[in-house]
Chains A and B, each alone.
Chain A
Amino acid sequence: MNTLISLTDNLRTFWSYTGFYNAEPGHLVMILIGLVFIYLAITKEYEPLLLIPIGFGILVGNIPFNEAANLQVGIYEEGSVLNILYQGVVQGWYPPLIFLGIGAMTDFSALIANPKLILIGAAAQFGIFGAYIIALQLGFAPNEAGAIGIIGGADGPTAIFTTSKLAPHLLGAVAISAYSYMALVPVIQPPFMRLLTTQKERVIKMKTPRVVSQTEKILFPIMGMLLTTFLVPSGLPLLGMLFFGNLLKESGVTRRLAETARGPLIDTITILLGFTVGASTQATTFLRVESVKVFAIGALSFVIATCTGILFVKFLNLFLSNEKKINPLIGNSGVSAVPDSARISQTIGLEYDPANYLLMHAMGPNVAGVIGSAVAAGILLGFLY
């Protein structure tokens, strides 16, 4: 009889440790969200390299367990494996490493060949500051508003880096929002591109960019880094690594380092970053009204960035001669979702003129957007950190 009672007690204790016992509706909602991310990544191929790690991370982060038992498995439990991996996000050292890889895979030729395109990358940053003002109006504190505003830069690593400094408690919501909307760029941008352009503007053919010398390509990251250091020192962790990676690529003598930075290194960090950001979205910390607000403002910031990029091109065209006019369909590329937004310019451009290839032109504002959002992050950190 005693044995039976003991067995029952043990089973009861075991049951209290299971996920089934500890599950709450919030866990199930988050697991469903994780599954949607994985579904979108596999069936729609929306940013699968990001959405699969994030989606699976959401599943892992929302497995219910007995927190009082001190199992050392949760991402917020100090000393757990997940917590150690999460330090790269919290301390902000994953994003600069991602930027190193991005630098090593970015070709700045399009920008160097037609430098006025860099201004489009600046105009699209209105998304960041527009979202910042909206977030303040909705009751967020200035530092939280800065973290939310950076979603408009359409740059996951920059958003994570800035939020880890300004409002770490919003990290999950901001990161998930930024990456979700980056994945949804092909859905968000086209309607506004069509709405804000005329038939005549959509078929503008731009001149083939000039050839860029290797010396220019080598000097660009060195001078760019120095310029960044002196003008916006707070943007240095991101931009310093971006230009360092680019120098590894362009110098021609560090091919192995460049290949490591744009291959195994960026892949490893992407896995760790995506997975831990996903796992950080535990139902108790993520399912709040403020997360919904973050998502809503994030969507608005993407729209503002897209629209201001396009409208700025139209404004620039007022001052350009006919042969130098810029097709406004590349204005959306000022948001730094590389290369997705540039691909959208190409796709929409081809719809209206099958012989008008805009990709090489759109890559200019696209890489300028990366620089612009990192500068904006530096400015926000300078004011609000």
Chain B
Amino acid sequence: MMTPIFEKALLIAAIGMTGIFLFMAVFYLLILLLDRLMPYREEKPDEENIVEFETEEDEEEK
């Protein structure tokens, strides 16, 4: 038999779990949004800044 306290407990549990799932769903959408707005781009080395060093082997070849 359902007592009023048990009914209230079920209600709190139902609201609580729904609340958590809703919260996490919003989080999920937030992450998707972040991914859409700021996708990962592989950092490529800036070719202008590459300085070529001559190694001892290069000098020997010369």
Contacts and interface: CB of A to CB of B under 8 A. Distances in A.
Given A125-B17, A379-B19, 8 more contacts: A116-B28, A136-B5, A145-B9, A216-B35, A231-B26, A372-B20, A375-B19, A380-B12
Among A118, A132, A227, A380, max chain B CB count under 10 A is at A118
A115 B23 contact: no
Contacts of B25: 119
B9 to A, nearest CB: 5
B39 interface: yes
B20 A132 contact: no
A265 interface: no
Contacts, number: 98
Interface of B: 5-6, 8-10, 12-13, 15-17, 19-21, 23-28, 30-32, 34-35, 38-42
Contacts of B12: 129, 132, 379-380, 383-384
Contacts of A223: 30, 34
Nearest to B19: A379
Interface string A353-383: 0000000000000001001100110011001
Contacts of A115: 27-28, 31-32
Interface string A145-175: 1000000000000000000000000000000
A215 interface: yes
Contact of B23 (A129, A375, A380): A375
A213 B20 contact: no
B23 A232 contact: yes
Contacts of B10: 133
Contact of B9 (A118, A142, A372): A142
Interface of A: 111-112, 115-116, 118-119, 121-122, 125-126, 128-130, 132-133, 136-137, 142, 145, 210-213, 215-216, 219-220, 223-224, 227, 231-232, 368, 371-372, 375-376, 379-380, 383-384
Contacts of B42: 211
Main SS of chain A's interface residues? Answer: helix
B34 A219 contact: yes
Contacts of A112: 31, 34-35
A136 B34 contact: no
B8 A142 contact: yes
A216 B42 CA distance: 14
A351 to B, nearest CB: 30
Contacts of B24: 118-119, 121-122, 368, 371-372
A111 B40 contact: no
B16 A118 contact: no
5 smallest A-B Cβ distances: which pairs? Answer: A129-B13, A115-B31, A122-B24, A213-B40, A379-B16
Nearest to A213: B40
17 contacts: A112-B35, A115-B28, A125-B17, A129-B12, A132-B13, A133-B10, A133-B13, A136-B6, A142-B9, A211-B42, A213-B41, A219-B34, A219-B38, A227-B23, A372-B24, A379-B15, A383-B16
A192 B32 CA distance: 32
A375 B20 contact: yes
Nearest to A211: B40
Given A125-B20, A126-B17, A129-B13, A216 B38 contact: yes
Contacts of A216: 34-35, 38, 40
A21 to B, nearest CB: 46
B28 A119 contact: yes
A142 B40 contact: no
A309 B40 CA distance: 30
B58 to A, nearest CB: 35
Contacts of A210: 40
Nearest to B12: A383
A129 B16 contact: yes
